Amino acid sequence: MMPLLAYAFIGLGLVLVVEGLAYALFTDSVKRLLGRLQDMPVGKLRSGGMVALVAGIAILWLARF
């Protein structure tokens, strides 16, 4: 069984891979998206973040089995 810190590093590595791919493959789209995020209301961004958080926790919970 792997120690908890190893799982944390695996998770961090996967996040960096996905984010790096987005910036490397879709640079113009990411720039447009970031520009549009500035115009969005804070509440909408917060709600989207909460949905992503819950979805991530659910995926991690399901991956345990």
Count of structural domains within the chain? 1
- Considering the chain, what is the average pLDDT of its residues? 90
Specify the pLDDT at position 12: 92
DSSP 40: S
* Residue 8 structural domain: 4-63
Q: Residue 43 has which token pair?
A: 């509440």
Residues 6+ apart with CB under 8 A from 45: 37
Q: pLDDT category, 1, cuts 50, 70, 90?
A: low
Residues in the chain: 65
Digit-coded pLDDT (tens) for 2-30: 788 888 898 899 999 999 999 999 999 99
Specify the pLDDT at position 5: 85
